Chain A
Amino acid sequence: MNIWTIGVNSFKRLMRSKILYVMAVFCLITIAYASLYGTLTAGQEGKLMKDVGLAGIAAFSILVAILVGSTVVAKEIESKTIQILLAKPVKKHEFLLGEFLAAALTILMMTAIMGVGFLIIVAIKGIATAALVNGVVLVFFEAILLASIAIFFSTFFSGMVASVFTFIIFVFGHLTYQLPFLVQRAGNVVVKFFGNLLYFALPNLQYFNIRGPVAHNLNVPGSMIFAVIVYGLLYSSIMILASALVFKSKDFA
Chain B
Amino acid sequence: MAKINRKKLAILILVCLVILLVPCSLTIDKVRVAANLSERGALGFNNLMADVLWVETIQYMGEAKKITDEIATTIYQKIERITDLDPHFIMAYRLAGLTLSNKRPELSIRILSKGLENNPGASWEIPFYAGVISYFRLEDYRGAVRYLEAATTHPECPDFIKRFLARATTEVGSYKDALLLWEGIYEETESPTERGIAARHLIRLCSQIMEISTDRNLVAKAKAILRKISE
Contact = CB atoms under 8 A, between A and B. Distances in A.
Given A200-B21, A216-B88, A55 B37 contact: no
Interface stretch (A45-53, A99-107, A112-120): A45-53
B22 interface: yes
B51 A48 contact: yes
Interface residues of B, number: 40
Given A212-B47, A220-B35, A200 B95 contact: no
Contact of B86 (A43, A212, A235): A212
A200 B45 CA distance: 22
Instruction: Determine which residue in B13, B39, B50 has the highest number of CB atoms from chain A within 10 A of its CB, and name it.
Output: B39
Interface string B23-44: 0110110011001011101111
Interface stretch (A15-23, A78-86, A171-179): A171-179
Contacts, number: 118
Interface stretch (B52-60, B106-114, B138-146, B184-192): B52-60
A177 B46 CA distance: 14
A215 B90 CA distance: 12
B45 A55 contact: yes
B128 to A, nearest CB: 18
Instruction: Determine which residue in B27, B44, B48, B91 has the highest number of CB atoms from chain A within 10 A of its CB, and name it.
Output: B44
Contacts of B59: 40
B28 A209 contact: no
A132 interface: no
A199 B25 CA distance: 9
Interface in A222-246: 223-224, 227-228, 230-231, 234-235, 237-238, 241-242, 244-245
Interface residues of A, number: 53
Interface of B: 7, 10-11, 13-14, 17-18, 20-22, 24-25, 27-28, 31-32, 35, 37-39, 41-48, 50-51, 54-55, 58-59, 86, 88-91, 95
Given A42-B91, A47-B89, A221-B31, 10 more contacts: A40-B58, A51-B50, A174-B41, A200-B22, A206-B39, A207-B32, A212-B39, A223-B31, A238-B14, A241-B10
Task: Please give me the 9 A-B residue pairs with the lowest Cβ-Cβ distance, nearest first.
Answer: A55-B48, A224-B31, A209-B44, A51-B47, A216-B88, A174-B43, A212-B47, A238-B17, A231-B24
Interface of A: 37, 40-44, 47-48, 51-52, 54-55, 58-59, 170-171, 174-175, 177-178, 199-200, 204-213, 215-216, 218-221, 223-224, 227-228, 230-231, 234-235, 237-238, 241-242, 244-245, 248
